[in-house]
Amino acid sequence: MSTEELKKIKSNTIVDARGTACPGPLLAAKKAIGEIESGEIMEIYSSDEGTKNDIPKWCNKMTHEFLGIVEEDSYTRLFLKKA
Amino acid sequence: MGTELENQIADLKKQVNQLKEGTKDQLSMVVFSGDMDKILAAMIIATGAAAFDMKVKLFFTFWAISALRDPAKTGKGKNFIEKMFGMMLPKGSPKLKLSNMNMGGMGTAMIKGIMKKHKVASIEEMLKTAGELGIEINICEMSMNLMGFKKEEMIDYPNMTICGVATFLTDAAESKIQLFI
């Protein structure tokens, strides 16, 4: 999805993992994904550079659909759709 | 001819079933080192694997068992040597030292400061998370006996059992990933 499209998305849940280091954002995502329904959209805020590589790999393994990222000034927003 | 082919198919089916049962989406790890940095690495890999919905089994042996001691608890009925061991080995994860650059404790204190600044979870926090994620901790009975550690002086952890090498081998044999740290 393009950045413009992603910016318009209204996420069902937002996980704010800013400030935590590996594996913080991954564990936060794992915890929060259990609280939403299949097909719903989750957004992760992370200031950890590695998360951008890790979350797509996690989505691939867990069969969630990774939608893309939006870069903000001091953090990244990562979007995914639950399988 | 027909039966020969049938036999071959039956044989293949058996092999496929063995492969299917052979490996689970599971991580088995021997945690041997009692160094703070190595235990931290082990816990990061373990909790990460749990986030991938893998079953995680940690086999704590030798020096690593010190990390599971509860500083507030004491074991009863120890002989002189066991008491000496208890005194000389780190009493719990906050007392562990770095494998390099410990510099009489200065390096370890410094790295803990840096970890806090970078919001890296401490080993105590990682152990708590591991428990919540259902990660199993198995402690080697033989090492515990050697060092005179008692079950009652270990931390409160939801999935902790005392076991032997057979448990590790059984777990490792059916795991996709096996590690030794």
For A23-46, the pLDDT digits (tens) are 999 999 999 999 999 999 999 999
pLDDT tens per residue across span B112-162: 999 999 889 999 999 999 999 999 999 999 999 999 999 999 999 999 999
Domain boundaries of chain B, sorted by first residue: 26-180
pLDDT tens per residue across span B16-73: 877 776 788 999 999 999 999 999 999 999 999 999 999 999 999 999 999 999 999 9
Instruction: Work out the average pLDDT over B93-105.
Output: 94
Give me the residues of B, 16-75, that contact A with CB < 8 A: 44, 47-48, 50-53
- pLDDT at position B163 is 93
Question: CA A77, CA A56: separation in Å to the nearest integer?
Answer: 12
Return mean pLDDT, chain B. Answer: 93
Q: How big is chain A by its Cα radius of gyration, in Å?
A: 11
All residues of chain B having their beta carbon less than 8 Å from the beta carbon of residue A59 are none
Query: Is-above-0.80 flag for pTM?
Result: yes
Which one of 3.40.50.1000, 3.40.50.300, 3.10.580.10, 3.40.1260.10 gives the CATH number of domain B26-180?
3.40.1260.10
Question: CA A14, CA B74: separation in Å to the nearest integer?
Answer: 44
pLDDT tens per residue across span A40-83: 999 999 999 899 999 999 999 999 999 999 999 999 999 999 99
Closest partner CB to A24 (pick from B52, B53, B119): B119
Distance of CA B28 to the CA centre of its chain: 8
**Which site among A16, A18, A30 would you substitute to test the B interface, given the most B Cβ atoms closer than 10 Å to its Cβ?**
A30
pLDDT tens per residue across span B64-75: 999 999 999 988
> Quick check: B158 and B127 in contact, CB under 8 A?
no
All residues of chain B having their beta carbon less than 8 Å from the beta carbon of residue A20 are 119, 121
Q: Does B117 touch chain A (CB under 8 A)?
A: no
pLDDT band (50, 70, 90) for residue B3: confident
Q: Does B121 touch chain A (CB under 8 A)?
A: yes
Given its phi and psi angles, is residue A79 left (phi above 0), alpha (psi -120 to 50 degrees) or beta?
beta
CATH code, A3-81? 3.30.110.40
Closest partner CB to B121 (pick from A24, A29, A30): A24
A63/chain B closest Cα distance in angstroms = 11
ipTM above 0.90 for this complex = no
